[in-house]
A and B are shown apart, each in its own frame.
Chain A
Amino acid sequence: MATLVRIAQIETLQGQTTILHDIDWQQFEAILEDLGDNRASRIAYFDGVLEIRMPLPEHERTKVIISNLLVILLEELDWEWESLGSSTFKTKSMKAGIEPDDCFYIKNYVAMIGKKRLDMSIDPSPDIAIEVDLTSNTQISAYEALAVAEIWRYANGKLSIRLLREGKYVESLVSLSFPDFPVIDGISQFLERGAELSISSLRREFRQWVRDRLH
C-alpha cells in the first residue's frame, strides 16, 4: 500500500529540512511549480533527492550581513556586478538544482543584466554563492553539478571559502574573486561584531575598514 500526499500538505518547520526521495526530473519541476515563487524555503536537488529547507530568521540576518559586506567590497573596488539572489539554478543534463541564500556575478556580470529567465545550458553560473549552513551532500553535489566557482559558507560562527577544483570543492584561505583581499578575516570580524551592532553600523565600519586596506 502506498498513501499519497500532495506537496502542499507537507509543512517544513523553521530551521528544519524535508527530504523527498526518488524524485525524477519531471517531478522536481512539477514540485517547483507547486511550491511557487512566494516562499521562504530553499531547495536543493541531486541524484533524485529533493531537500526543502526552511531557514531560521537569524540565518537570514547573517546572509544579509555577508551579502552587504560583499557589495561594499565590490563598491570600494569599483567593480561591476550582478546578483540573482536566491534564484533557482537547475540543469536538466546534470539533474541538479539549487537555490543559494544569495549569489553574485562578477566576471560574467554583463551576461546577466536584465535576465528574465535563467537557462543554465547557455547562462553562466554565478561566481560566488553564499550559503548559511551548507550541510548536506545534496547541496554540495548540486553546486558541483552547476560548477559554481566559489562558495562562501557560514557555519558554526565561522566564514569559510570553498573553491571548485577538478569538479570537487576544496577549502581555501583566499577568495578566487578577491585573491588579494583578506575576505575571510574581514567578514568574520564584522560578523562577530554583528551580535552587538546594527547592520547599518556594520556597513559603515566595514566600508572604512576596506578603505584603510585599499589605500
Chain B
Amino acid sequence: MATLVRIAQIETLQGQTTVLHDIDWQQFEAILEDLGDKRASRIAYFDGVLEIQMPLPEHEADKELIGDLIKMMFAYLLMDYECYGSTTFKKHFKGQSMPAGIEPDNCFYVQNHRLMIGKTRLDLAVDPPPDLAIEVDLTSRTARSAYVALGVPEIWQYADRQLRIFRLQDGDYVESLDSAIFPQCRVTTAINRCLEICRTKGRGAALREFQAWMGQNVPKF
C-alpha cells in the first residue's frame, strides 16, 4: 500500500528540512511549480533527492549584511557585477552529469556579469553559473553535489556565526582563506568582524568599520 500526499500538504518548519527521495526530473520540475515563486523555502536537488529547507528568520539579517558588504567591495573596487538573489539554478543535460538544482541564499555574477544583464529567464544550457553563491546554515551533501554539478566556482558558507570560503577544485569544494573574486585581501575575515560588530553595536557601526577597513587594506587595481 502506498498513501499519496500532495506537496502542498507537506509543511516544513522554520530551521528544518523536508527530504523527498526518488524524485525524477519531471517530478522535480512539477514540484517547483507546485511550490511557486512566493515562498521563503530554498530547494536543493541532486541524485533524485529533493530537499526543501525553511530558513530561520534570525539568519536573514546576517545574510543581508553579508550581501551588503560584498556590494560595498564591488563599489569600492569599481567592479561590475550582477546579483541574482535566490534564483533557482537547475540543469539537466541528457547523458551528461546528474540532474541538479539549487537555490542559493544569494549569488553574484562577476566575470560573466555582462552576459547576465537584463536576463528574465535563466537557462543553464547557455547561461553560465554564478561566480559566487552565499549559503546560510549547514550545507547538506545534496546541496554541495548540486553546486558541483552546476559548476559554481566559489561558495561562501555562513554557519555558527562564521563565514567561510569554499572553492571548487577537481570536482569538490575545498576550504580556502582567499577568494578568487577578491584575491587582494582576506575579505571574509573582515566580514566576520563586521558581523560581530553588527550584533553588539548595530548595522551602522558595522558598515562604517567595513568602509574604514577597505580604505586601509584593500589596494585598488
The reply to whether A21 and B9 contact each other, CB–CB distance below 8 Å, is: yes
Q: A6 to B6, alpha carbons, bound, how many Å? A: 9
Give B16 Cβ to nearest chain A Cβ, in Å. 5
Q: A17 to B18, alpha carbons, bound, how many Å? A: 9
Q: A11 to B34, alpha carbons, bound, how many Å? A: 19
The reply to whether B2 and A1 contact each other, CB–CB distance below 8 Å, is: no
Q: A16 to B16, alpha carbons, bound, how many Å? A: 6
Interface size class of chain B, counting residues whose CB lies under 8 Å from the partner chain = 20 to 34
Instruction: Name the A residues within 8 Å of B18 (CB-CB).
Output: 10-12, 18
CB-contact partner of A20 in B5, B16, B17, B23, under 8 A: B5
CB-contact partner of A1 in B3, B10, B19, B33, under 8 A: B33
B29: nearest residue on chain A (CB-CB)? Answer: A3
Instruction: Name the B residues within 8 Å of A106 (CB-CB).
Output: none
The reply to whether B10 and A18 contact each other, CB–CB distance below 8 Å, is: yes
The reply to whether B1 and A20 contact each other, CB–CB distance below 8 Å, is: no
CB-contact partner of B19 in A4, A6, A13, under 8 A: A13
Instruction: Name the A residues within 8 Å of B10 (CB-CB).
Output: 5, 10, 18-21
CB-contact partner of B2 in A3, A6, A20, A21, under 8 A: A6
Whether, in the assembled complex, A34 has its beta carbon less than 8 Å from a beta carbon of chain B, the answer is yes
Instruction: Name the B residues within 8 Å of A22 (CB-CB).
Output: 9
B15: nearest residue on chain A (CB-CB)? Answer: A16
Whether, in the assembled complex, A27 has its beta carbon less than 8 Å from a beta carbon of chain B, the answer is yes
The reply to whether A17 and B13 contact each other, CB–CB distance below 8 Å, is: yes
CB-contact partner of B34 in A1, A12, A21, under 8 A: A1
Give A10 Cβ to nearest chain B Cβ, in Å. 6
For the A-B complex with A5-B5, A6-B3, A11-B19 known, give 6 more contacts whose Cβ atoms are closer than 8 Å: A3-B27, A5-B4, A5-B20, A10-B5, A16-B13, A18-B11
26 A-B pairs in the complex with CB atoms less than 8 angstroms apart: A1-B30, A2-B6, A3-B6, A3-B27, A3-B34, A4-B4, A4-B7, A5-B7, A5-B10, A5-B20, A6-B2, A6-B3, A7-B4, A7-B5, A9-B20, A9-B22, A10-B5, A10-B18, A13-B17, A16-B13, A16-B16, A20-B5, A20-B9, A21-B8, A27-B5, A30-B3
Residues of B within 8 A of A (CB): 1-13, 16-23, 27, 30-31, 33-34
